[in-house]
Amino acid sequence: QQQVKQSPQSLIVQKGGISIINCAYENTAFDYFPWYQQFPGKGPALLIAIRPDVSEKKEGRFTISFNKSAKQFSLHIMDSQPGDSATYFCAANQDAGNNRKLIWGLGTSLAVNP
Amino acid sequence: KAGVTQTPRYLIKTRGQQVTLSCSPISGHRSVSWYQQTPGQGLQFLFEYFSETQRNKGNFPGRFSGRQFSNSRSEMNVSTLELGDSALYLCASSPRAGEINEQFFGPGTRLTVL
């Protein structure tokens, strides 16, 4: 059972457009929500993260929107560029005392057409 | 500063064999976590080692084991390989245990079980 559900599975956007990836979670104990970017042949790299005490966080062209009541969070990529073409993963942290571990979505493959 | 390195990058084994994967963390990082990445299941946490001790473990069978050496380098072993073990195995290092927000991933080892 997937505790973090990510959609869409794949996304094609034109250069300059907005890419939007959504995630929904079930466990209200999650307290940290990162997004990772993975290029082919590379491991995931932390892109941006948010905690549930804020509703939005922006870093450059990347914005996380967080809706605590709906248990949803999303990644917006403004002015999408071909270099943004990658797989994006959302995740959530399950903090059980010292046993912190990330629960991951299944990923979204983003292609930005030039 | 050099990133996380994993060896080998690619591996082909047959069912029933065992395999050992290696991970060298970023210099100064003492925590190493291992993940299995597959298209159907996404990234799943295997275990975390800190100061040569396993401090956290995911839901994988006992065929999956690991260890960490005094220099923080880590190895992961899978015994009696099954077809379903074919995956990208990622290692991530962080300065301290449970530092999910300061976790850096290596490029992974692609394991194919025939």
- Would an 8 Å CB–CB cutoff place B28 in contact with chain A? no
Query: Does the beta-carbon distance from B100 to A34 stay under 8 Å?
Result: yes
State residue A91's pLDDT score. Answer: 94
User: Would you state the pLDDT for residue B31?
Assistant: 94
Interface contacts A/B by beta carbons within 8 Å: 53
| Chain A interface with B: residues with Cβ < 8 Å | 2, 32, 34, 41-46, 49, 89, 91, 93, 98-102, 104-107
Q: Residues of chain B with pLDDT > 70: what percent?
A: 99
Of A98, A100, A106, the CB nearest to B100: A100
pLDDT at A64 over 60: yes
Minimal C-alpha gap between A95 and chain B (Å): 9
Mean of pLDDT over chain A: 92
pLDDT tens track for B15-70: 999 999 999 999 999 999 999 999 888 999 999 999 999 998 999 999 999 999 99
Task: Note whether A64 and A33 are within 8 A (CB).
Answer: yes
| CA dihedral over A94, B9, B106, B67, signed as positive or negative | positive
pLDDT at B36: 96
Q: Is the pLDDT of residue A112 over 70?
A: yes
pLDDT at residue A98 greater than cutoff 80: no
Interface with A, mutate which of B9, B32, B41, B43 (most A CBs under 10 A): B43
Q: Name the residue among A53, A96, A46, A101 with its Cα closest to residue A73.
A: A53
pLDDT of residue A81: 97
Look at residue A52 in the predicted model and tell me its pLDDT: 87
Neighbouring residues of B7: CB distance < 8 A, sequence distance ≥ 6: B21, B22, B24, B109
Mean pLDDT of A22-49: 93
Distance CA A45, CA A89 (A): 10
Give the pLDDT score at A97: 58
Chain A contact for B98 (CB, 8 A cutoff)? yes
Instruction: Please check the confidence at residue A46 and state whether its pLDDT lies above 80.
Output: yes
Of B42, B58, B108, the CB nearest to A101: B58
